[in-house]
Amino acid sequence: MPTETVDTLIVGGGLSGIYAAYLLAQRDESFVVLEARERLGGRILSPEHQNFFSDLGPSWYWPEIHPKMAGLIQEQGLKGYRQFENGLGRFQRPNGEVQTVSGYATEPLSWRLQGGMMALITKLCEKIPENAIKLNHPVCHIEKNGAEAHVSVGELEKEPWARFRAKKIILALPPRLTASTILFTPDLPDNLTQAMLKIGTWMAGHAKFTALYEEPFWRQAKLSGQAFSQRGPMGELHDASNNEQGPYGLTGFVGIPAAQRHNQQLLIDAILSQLELIYGKPAAKPTILFYKDWAREQFTATKLDQPPMYEHPLYYPPARQTSFWDGIIHFAGTETATKNGGYLEGALGTAERAVG
Ligand SMILES: Cc1cc2nc3c(=O)[nH]c(=O)nc-3n(C[C@H](O)[C@H](O)[C@H](O)COP(=O)(O)OP(=O)(O)OC[C@H]3O[C@@H](n4cnc5c(N)ncnc54)[C@H](O)[C@@H]3O)c2cc1C
């Protein structure tokens, strides 16, 4: 099998990998992005319905505190809009009882992206040569060979189905996933592997739900779409609509642990009953609903990520190292950021750092 040679090889086509590729495309260097899934975006996922894109991964950025995101969105000619928060909120007690409470605007202000967060990935890809992105290419082994590394694509224990060599590798995926699913030869030092395994992948244990409707009946009832529940299954709800036109949406984070989310249909039925309790009868009959359980995604979550993290950790590069093997391998991916780790903003920062 022929081995393709490039200057830089990027493992992962999420925001950090695609932004690294976008930056490299502005230089006279060869590169390739190897993406395990059949799609780009990683944790960014925005399925379309009637030309509206529902974010099942990240939906917000905060221009006041995330300047890289705000700048990139503007530079790419994309449009953001304020999260809809006008009106009263709803609060559900453990016994299911629902009360109306005063609403509030998040601080700092949350913004959504026109066309869904995937619009950013799609836009960046316009500047990346199509043949530099290889989907369905899960990296399974990286081997140091002098001043370069050899990368095998496929499944461990089987013959690789593609091989690459590069002077520089950018690992643009969660470090816990890297340490759990990619073999390195020679072995990585124990302290580095342990540090990688201990970095929790942000939101990997969570599940998100979006229901779309023809009419924003909650807005018509002077409700903002913001709700908190102590009963579940959704713990937190928000309006998920574009401000200008329909379809209109409600979105929520499922508050129960992954181990209790085995039966998807039961869970969706419970979510619809909860929506009806909080917003009335029309809420139980969306025109379409989308559900994504990230804990069940093999290219996002590992066993260690199954209990969801509720506290945002303080992220930093594994064992405080941003590279290893004499600068052949560089960490990117939001969980390796020193600033804004876990967020989209952190992913952009690590791409800039890794590209150099
Ligand atoms: C439900 C949810 C809500 C969120 N909400 C927000 C929000 O509102 N605002 C915000 O800022 N952030 C939010 N986040 C976090 C945000 O999604 C991440 O910060 C960001 O998407 C991470 O990008 P990344 O490139 O670092 O990693 P990823 O997006 O995880 O990309 C890693 C890529 O590597 C690929 N990959 C994995 N293994 C291999 C392999 N062996 N070989 C090749 N490729 C591989 C994956 O398929 C994936 O495409 C949310 C996340 C989730 C899940």
Q: How confident is the model at residue 105 (pLDDT cuts 50, 70, 90)?
A: confident
Q: Which whole-number Å values give the CA distances from 149 to 11, 182, 189, in the listed order?
A: 13, 14, 17
Whether cis (ω within 30° of 0) applies to the bond prior to 108 is yes
Rounded Cα gap, residues 341 and 345, in angstroms: 8
Ligand 1 pocket check for 57: Cβ under 6 Å:
yes
Indicate whether 244 pLDDT > 80.
no
For the domain made up of 48-116+205-296, the CATH class stated in words is alpha beta
pLDDT confidence of 204, banded at 50, 70, 90?
Answer: very high
Q: Of all helices (H) and strands (E), which one includes residue 133?
A: strand 133-134
Contacts 24+ apart (CB under 8 A), 191-200: 191/319, 192/318, 192/319, 192/321, 192/324, 195/318, 195/319, 196/318, 197/304, 199/174, 199/175, 199/313, 199/315, 199/318, 199/335, 199/336, 200/176, 200/304, 200/305, 200/309, 200/313, 200/335
Residue with tokens 């920062």, as numbered in its chain = 349
Q: What is the pLDDT of residue 186?
A: 98
Q: How far is Cα 145 from Cα 69, in angstroms, rounded to an integer?
A: 37
Exposed, middle or buried by CB within 10 Å (0-12, 13-18, 19+), for 151?
buried
Sign for the CA dihedral angle at 322, 328, 332, 336 comes to: negative
Q: Which atom of ligand 1 is nearest to the CA of 13?
A: 49
State which ligand 1 atom lies nearest to the alpha carbon of 294.
53
Mean pLDDT over 210-229 rounds to 97
Question: Does the beta carbon of 33 lie inside 6 Å of ligand 1?
Answer: no
Asked whether this chain's domains 1-44+117-201+313-356 and 48-116+205-296 adopt the same fold, the reply is no
Atom of ligand 1 at shortest range from CA of 292: 1
Provide the residue ranges of all domains of the chain, joining segments of one domain with +: 1-44+117-201+313-356, 48-116+205-296
Q: What is the pLDDT of residue 190?
A: 98
Can you tell me the mean pLDDT for 200-227? 97
Query: Quick one: pLDDT at residue 309?
Result: 86
Which one is the CATH code of 1-44+117-201+313-356: 3.40.190.10, 3.40.50.300, 3.50.50.60, 3.30.70.1090? 3.50.50.60
pLDDT tens by residue, 85-101: 999 999 999 999 999 99
- pLDDT score for 210: 98
Is residue 30 within 8 Å of 10, Cβ to Cβ?
A: no
pLDDT over 90 at 103, yes or no: no
Confirm or reject: Cβ of 175 under 6 Å from ligand 1: no
CA 85 to ligand 1 centroid distance, Å:
26
Mean residue pLDDT across the chain: 96
